[in-house]
């Protein structure tokens, strides 16, 4: 399995103390954490994109430019690039620039974003969010792959023999599709033979499972090689301690304070995927995707979720309201203790030398893996169907 740190750069007060970091400090820590993740051997670091609410991720390309300059090996990504809002010409230009600056260490995740308020900010209509996504992606693909592009569509101005510059570092970089609630994203990914990242953050496992299963079904229907149907998974946050009881006790005030604040903020919201469905830390750990506990327990949970998702990439996020040294301790413990435990059981060809879509500048070697059954018992009902991955 491969691993990624994702920071969508929330900027909220501590739910207990009320402390709020300066914007400068919060953004500086994004870069510092990416450097640490690289030093720890984590495969990828991703930043989000938000244009409304309490976030500092409105300019992911600027952040990624800083990360490209501060790092040498780690793969850079987004979570997500809100393509429904953006001009594909500018997206092609901006991200190809990052691809060049990083020496070919870029992949991105696209989506329509989990926010309604940003559509009117960009002169877009919410009811067309998926139409924008589908058309913009079709154009973006051409701009990254072709020069002298001529285009006629419904939502973008016509183009006549347009070539965006710079060109990508070594051919078009890989694009993933973010999946949380709708079949549109997984169908789009399957159509083009692209991978997906399931949010796996706010809802029960089965809500995401149905979308992953649909993705693989559609992927095969479109005639793509099932071995390349890569899946990434998010998490409901990461917190580690020496024992699971210690982790839950220490993290409870933070988790439940934020959960209560969000319930108040989104009072009356009934749409799936907008509000965290797990109000208590106990519920989030027992029934939800939160990775909170000892290293052994968290590794077991990732492997357990893999029995459902068969995912190749595990993305983790660390709550930025925690004391900064505690954040770094959690990330270090995850890299040094959790990752080796998981990789003893789960392997993947993603980003290996057997992955034809591997970013040209990603120089990490293939990891050693003792497991061949991905943590799936020999008598499992799926018979280890994904063991080729």
- pLDDT digits over 171-211, tens only? 999 999 999 999 999 999 999 999 999 999 999 999 999 99
According to the model, what pLDDT value does residue 115 have? 87
Domain assignment of residue 314, yes or no: yes
Evaluate whether residue 185 is within a structural domain: yes
Band of residue 367 on the pLDDT scale cut at 50, 70, 90: low
3-state SS class at 375: coil
Read off the DSSP letter of residue 18.
Answer: -
Q: Is residue 338 part of a domain?
A: yes
What is the number of structural domains in the chain? 1
Question: Does residue 387 surpass a pLDDT of 50?
Answer: no
Task: Tally Cβ neighbours within 10 Å of residue 315.
Answer: 25
- Rounded mean pLDDT, 51-71: 97
Q: How confident is the model over 104-139, as pLDDT tens digits? A: 999 999 999 988 899 999 999 999 999 999 999 999
57, exposed or middle or buried, with CB in 10 Å at 0-12, 13-18, 19+? buried
What are the tens digits of pLDDT across the range 42-54? 999 999 999 998 9
Identify whether 373 is part of a domain: no
Considering the chain, what percentage of its residues have pLDDT values greater than 90? 86
User: Is there a domain that residue 296 lies in?
Assistant: no
CATH number at residue 230: 3.20.20.30
Q: Is residue 276 part of a domain?
A: no
Radius of gyration of the chain (CA): 20
Report yes or no: 5 and 46 within 8 Å, Cβ to Cβ.
yes
Please report whether residue 101 resides in a domain: yes
pLDDT for residue 268: 77
Range of the domain at 326: 2-234+301-345
pLDDT at 164 over 70: yes
Establish if 66 belongs to a structural domain: yes
Q: Which 8-state DSSP code applies to residue 89?
A: H
């Amino acid at each position: 399995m491969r691993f990624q740190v994702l920071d969508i750069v929330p900027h909220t007060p501590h739910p207990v103390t009320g402390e709020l970091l300066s914007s400068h400090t919060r953004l500086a820590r994004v870069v510092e954490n990416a450097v640490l993740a690289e030093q720890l051997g984590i495969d990828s670091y991703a930043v989000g994109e938000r244009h409304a609410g309490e976030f500092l991720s409105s300019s992911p390309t600027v952040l990624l430019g800083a990360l490209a300059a501060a790092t040498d090996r780690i793969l850079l990504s987004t979570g997500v690039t809100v393509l429904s809002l953006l001009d594909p010409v500018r997206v092609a230009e901006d991200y190809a620039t990052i691809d060049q600056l990083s020496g070919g260490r870029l992949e991105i995740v696209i989506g329509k974003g989990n926010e309604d308020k940003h559509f009117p900010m960009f002169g877009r209509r919410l009811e067309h969010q998926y139409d924008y996504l589908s058309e913009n992606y079709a154009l973006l693909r051409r701009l990254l792959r072709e020069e002298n592009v001529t285009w006629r569509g419904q939502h973008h101005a016509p183009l006549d023999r347009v070539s965006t510059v710079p060109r990508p570092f070594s051919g078009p970089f890989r694009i993933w599709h973010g999946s949380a609630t709708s079949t549109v994203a997984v169908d789009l990914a399957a159509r083009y033979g692209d991978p997906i990242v399931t949010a796996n953050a706010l809802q029960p496992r089965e809500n995401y499972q149905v979308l992953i299963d649909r993705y693989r079904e559609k992927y095969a229907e479109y005639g793509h090689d099932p071995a390349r149907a890569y899946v990434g998974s998010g998490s409901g946050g990461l917190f580690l301690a020496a024992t699971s009881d210690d982790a839950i006790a220490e993290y409870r005030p933070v988790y439940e304070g934020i959960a209560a604040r969000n319930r108040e903020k989104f009072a009356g919201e009934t749409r799936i995927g907008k509000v965290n469905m797990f109000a208590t830390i106990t519920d989030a750990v027992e029934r939800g995707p939160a990775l909170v506990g000892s290293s052994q327990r968290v590794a077991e949970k990732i492997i357990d979720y893999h029995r459902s998702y068969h995912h190749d990439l595990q993305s983790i996020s660390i709550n930025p309201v925690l004391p900064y040294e505690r954040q770094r301790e959690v990330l270090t413990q995850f890299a040094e203790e959790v990752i080796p435990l998981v990789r003893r059981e789960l392997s993947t060809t993603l980003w290996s030398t057997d992955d034809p879509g591997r970013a040209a500048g990603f120089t990490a070697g293939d990891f050693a893996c003792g497991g061949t059954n991905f943590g799936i018992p020999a008598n499992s009902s799926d018979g280890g169907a994904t063991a080729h991955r």
